[in-house]
Amino acid sequence: MIKKILFYFLLASSLPILIFSLDFILTKLIFKDYHYFKINEKRAPKQQFYRVKNEFYHHGFLPNINVLEENIGFGTYRFVTNSLGFKDSETRAVVLKKDKHRILFIGDSFTEGVLLDYEDTFVGIIDNNLKKFDIEVLNAGVGSYYPSVYYNKILYLINNLKLEFDELIVFIDLSDPTDEFSKEIEENKITYEKKLTLFEKTVRFIKSNFVLSYTLLNLVHDYTKDKYLKDSENFIIHMSEVNTFVPGWTFDEAIYKEYGDFALQEMKIKMQLLVDLCKKNNIDMTIAVYPWFQQIYNNDLDSIHVKIWKSFSEKNNINFINFFPFFFSKENSFDENLKIIKKYYIPFDVHFNKKGNELIANNFLKIYNKKK
């Protein structure tokens, strides 16, 4: 009896050691290039095939793509690109030499219009409305773009591709400082040593050495988080009070000091190059800013994000559009702001839904038509 107990005890003790040893060996020999396996990819699972690296401007879309994409749990949408690899209503050949007034939009995933048909994105709505005035609209926006990429892509389009356009509308996102900062680290232009907690050090160690175990832990984490956050209000509160790193630099002084100030200086350098490029080519440039739902949640109407790019635009004598006041006002109650967030943002996501895109498009058109 004692021998049996001892046998099962040794078996139970050695099994985890065996599993972790195998995981470690596989991680180092086979899975060394993986962070973890995306088993439960829920948003746009086909994008890994049409989002591609680009030697001139980091990444973009393949041209003339037409696929039915999924936002699992929320239906499907059609993803289409034209001959330039720009999101569009149809696969079509875009002539480089303009034969009518042409507006080019650029920005990140908000401007791309993720998880929506082109016709339901703000660029698509603007496009559809301006056609009757014989104005052509193009959308060069792609998820995870930021000022360095804005500049490099526009430079490539003008100098290499010889694309002609009259106006450039740049939608600067609240995540741009994070992306700009990450690029500087990636290119070894700066050294950044974040003080890690014991928990963060443990997670990093498992992720680097036990990829299968990390994948399993990630699935368990996602499952428990999804159960809690399946209520959209819980998701909004969690993203606004707990997970605030990306948009938090506008209302959290500690986050701003950690990376915001440096990143913004880099952004201004690239945006200045873009302004100069547009002026050199007689292109009318506009900068636009808009809120994430965390700004609405925190009543961050007088956001530093707005102040910085308004001042930059005035200094360079270019157009500036602030979309913050179209979403909320300083007098709003907490409950009113929650209703606004639910009305204009995709559930369990930070991006605009169809109504949010309509709000941006309709107010852009009012401003644009008044200006013209």
Q: What is the pLDDT of residue 192?
A: 43
Both tokens assigned to 119: 């016709």
Which residue type, as a one-letter code, is found at position 284?
Answer: D
Phi, psi of 101 (to 5 degrees): -60, 135
Q: What is the value of pTM for the model shown?
A: 0.81
Provide the strand spans (E) within the chain: 51-54, 58-61, 66-70, 76-80, 101-106, 135-139, 167-172, 284-289, 319-322
- The pLDDT assigned to 153 comes to 98
Q: Give pLDDT, residue 149.
A: 96
Dihedral in degrees, nearest 10, Cα atoms 72, 294, 196, 217: -20
pLDDT, averaged per 10 consecutive residues of the chain (372 residues), comes to 65 69 72 48 72 92 94 81 98 97 98 96 98 97 96 98 98 92 60 51 72 68 54 68 75 80 90 98 98 94 96 98 97 94 90 97 96 72
Q: Which helix (H) or strand (E) element contains residue 279?
A: helix 261-280
For residues 255 and 246, what is the distance between their CA atoms, to the nearest angstrom? 9
What value, to the nearest 5°, has the Cα angle with vertex 47 and ends 42 and 327?
70
